[in-house]
Amino acid sequence: MSGTIIKSARNTANAPQDLSPSTQSVAFSHYNNISAQLPVDPKTGALVAGDIKAQARQCLTNIKAIVESIDHVMDDVVKITVFLKEIADLDAVNAVYGEFFPHLLPTRTVLAVAGLPLGAAVQMDALISNGEGTFPQAPCPLLKLSRNSDKAPQDPLSTHTVAFSHYNNIGAQLPVDAASGQLVAGGIQQQAEQCLRNIKHVLESIDVPFDDIVKVTVYLTSLADLDAVNEVYTTFFPDSAIARAVAYLPARSVIVASALPLGARVQMDAVISHGDGTPPQLVEDRHNLVISARNTDKAPRSPLHTQTVAFSHYNHIAGQLPVDLTTGKILTGCVKEQTAQCLGHIKTIVESIGHVMDDIVKVNIQVANIADLAEVDAVYNRYFPSYLPARTVIGVSELPAGALVQIDAVMSNAESTPPQA
């Protein structure tokens, strides 16, 4: 690991182990990334018996066990992502979900996917606050700020924006008009615009500019809609004259969902830089940290995102497809070769900014066929021979350009980002 702040990777026997090459909980600085939890009973190592409610309860019980094993509580959870095999199961999952968050609601993203490991009906991952920091940082009694805006659609099981320290997470915004509570009228472009407008309303409600976004994830039910979404996307980014002057774009991943809540065709969530910090960090330090957005010509570049965007102690790497740099097209080959290409691009990006693969704290993998996971893992293990990041894997019905796999990552950034002159 590079830098002076130490990554803390931990497992507990009270949650499933050895299901995948991953660590249950990886903390760095003021955040802790928790691997996707399947509905597996840690005592048996098998999927829990019962219906979707039993599976949802087991996922959340596993998350709770991990959270408590590192001396935290469920109120420390900042964000949850719920992956369902069937979107029709959402009401049943929600009935269980509320039991685990009776006080403070994290932000939340929900989608149905084509497949989950072990044939599960649901899995969930989580991000939690980590006020104690990681060595040699001193513990700090930081407060979590959970806020909603009347100008964006409300969700009884999710908070619009949850800030902790120097990051702010916004839960998935559906194309819902806040005034009517209904999906916006029109086609995919109107839906994409409404998603982005809702994100903008949330940010404006907390006095944060749109250009403070460091990562966007776009969830579509059909890749055929991507070009239309991109047309709208480019009207929102870059947002300001300063951002346009440097052509700033956040990191981005595009994920195909088999279905989205309310029958939407698109939803988007976002990670935001939060220079204000949260109390007792000082608001007057707001502009002392700046976003560091970088690209390298040794990995595929995109006119719609930056390869790596760092702020404070974290760095977000955009979704990497298995693109052959010599042709600019998806590598012809099997899923192992494509996995190596994706991870090779991530390694190139990581090393281009003076880091190493051991600095990665979380990896997200989307595969076109969940049955290919063992082959993906065979390659994956070569890139992480010692420190295993937290990880989430889903099966999707399609990937851009017909790829078999796509991978993005979150990396520690011990050097932080420089003060503004």
Q: What is the CATH number of domain 143-287?
A: 3.30.1330.40
CA–CA separation, 246 and 248 (whole Å): 5
CA distance from start to end of the chain: 29
pLDDT given at position 421? 36
pTM of the model: 0.94
- The half-sphere exposure of 188 on its side-chain side, counting CA atoms within 13 A, is 17
CATH class of 1-140: alpha beta
- The first and second tokens of residue 398, run together, are 């399609």
Query: 26: which strand partners?
Result: 9, 33
Instruction: Decide if 381 contacts 21 (C-beta within 8 A).
Output: yes
pLDDT given at position 287? 45
The residues of the chain scoring below 50 in pLDDT are: 1-2, 134-135, 278-281, 283-287, 420-421
Look at the domain 289-421 and name its fold.
60s Ribosomal Protein L30; Chain: A; (3.30.1330)
pLDDT given at position 396? 98
pLDDT given at position 69? 95
- The half-sphere exposure of 353 on its side-chain side, counting CA atoms within 13 A, is 30
The residue among 203, 319, 332, 258 whose CA lies nearest residue 89 is 258
**Cα Rg for the chain, rounded, in angstroms?**
20
CATH 3.30.1330.40 maps onto the chain at 1-140, 143-287, 289-421
Which residues have a Cβ under 8 Å from the Cβ of 11 and sit 6 or more positions away?
17, 23, 24, 25
Sign of CA dihedral 221, 223, 224, 230: positive
The residue among 366, 251, 245 whose CA lies nearest residue 304 is 251
